[in-house]
Structure 1
């Protein structure tokens, strides 16, 4: 077994939003910082990301329609994502110990970010991400 922990650190927290631009603007006021990333653009973003705190942790605002169907209709909610080096391997491992897929493995753009989320046997969401940004911060 590897000596590197499977969950290497909290890499990202995502907040779902019906109106990403309005939510972004509120968080700009609340946090006092501008987002560093907006996709596809600032005029009509589907995803916005801030870097916060001493470790420059990622707070993302994501258009609700990109969420798994069971979450898309619900209000509120947060998905905290833990960085893993081998996302596919971790998903396979978790499924072998009775976790179920909540969100399939999904590439996010062309820069190497890939996410997934699993439901543990008790109904809790475990968010996973392979994040080049997280690795750069190490």
Structure 2
């Protein structure tokens, strides 16, 4: 697997927390995955997880590693569109994310890894073991 291949990360939160995150993602016109990924990365800006886990979450004052893939996306958007303000840049990046999401959802459905369930109100993982 290449370093830039995407993999699923699963976590469990109370229903009320998911609803809060969903509302915040909708307000920012982001997918839930992109919202959570962005919030995790934003939280890591000032925190580093120590290897011994005894002081997990304690500020270290170190910067997180640069996200070269995201920086490349920003540069591509600016080269494609020219001068963009904050809102225009966010919108262009969201459009790119939505296009990527659409392509990945289609690929996962073609592989029968996920399917859309109207009954469940969204995409679900199929039993592909």
TM-score band, normalised by shorter chain: under 0.3
Higher relative contact order (CA 8 A, sep 6+): 1
- Whichever of the two has the greater Rg, that structure is 2
TM-score, normalised with respect to structure 2: 0.24
Q: Which structure shows the higher strand fraction?
A: 1
TM-score, normalised with respect to structure 1: 0.23
